[in-house]
Amino acid sequence: MKRIARLRHLMIAAALLAVTLATCGVVITRPGVYWARSSVLLIAPAVQSRPNNLQDGSGSLVSLAGIVERQMSGRSTQYNPNGPDVTIVDRGITNGITVRVPNFGGQWATNFSQPVLDVEASGPTPEIVQQRMVRTFAEIEAKVRDNQQQLGVDASQMITTSISPRQLQVRFSDGSRGRAAGTVLLIGGALSVAALLSPLRRRTVPTTAGALA
């Protein structure tokens, strides 16, 4: 019986080790993701011969940026605890687009103080990412123009947009595959060792009890 139990624990440990190695292989060979980020700046008209109700200090520019963000995302703007330096990949979006007004506030307060829209895209290839970014730029420009046209703003007094940086840079991220594989290996190895040592612990319990008696 002891030999059967020992063999059972050995098989469990071997199975755990095999699953751990297979998982590590999947993590290491998992394809990375391409992503890009640019900012769309809202710029007030240089000549103000006619009034523009949307252009009354930087606050109105920020408000217009918030309106466009909601129109692009299809939902109300909510407080985003992630800072402006957190990328689309960091947030776990590996195949999509995000448009947001950057929050420069801290943990307890929001601070949407800049008339800027951060645009990010991710995808499996650089070409897909670039196409998504270019299409999103065009959509933002159209919405900025349409919102002003609905208010009857003269073309010469319209708020315009500018992309920064002008040269789009597509980056590659492997998602820290080495660190993830190391974590899986550590947990799986610990479970395998625990399965091997389990019969030894059971044998030492009666011996210790007998010695105390």
Question: Does residue 203 register a pLDDT over 60?
Answer: no
Give the C-alpha separation, 55 to 42, whole Å: 10
**pLDDT reported for residue 163:** 95
Considering only CA atoms, which of 165, 188, 168 is closest in space to residue 24? 188
Under the banding of pLDDT at 50, 70 and 90, the label for residue 137 is very high
Highest mean pLDDT among 79-88, 131-140, 150-159: 131-140
How many whole angstroms separate alpha carbon 198 and alpha carbon 5?
10
Which residues is 42 bridged to in the sheet?
161
* Alpha-carbon gap, residue 142 to 120, rounded angstroms: 18
Q: How far are the Cα atoms of 1, 13, 187, 196 from residue 24, in angstroms, in the given order?
A: 35, 16, 11, 21
Q: Which pLDDT score is estimated for 208?
A: 47
Question: Quick one: average pLDDT of 45-59?
Answer: 59
> With the CA atoms of 142, 60, 43 and 91 taken in that order, what torsion angle do they form, in degrees rounded to the nearest 10?
-70
User: What is the pLDDT at residue 34?
Assistant: 95
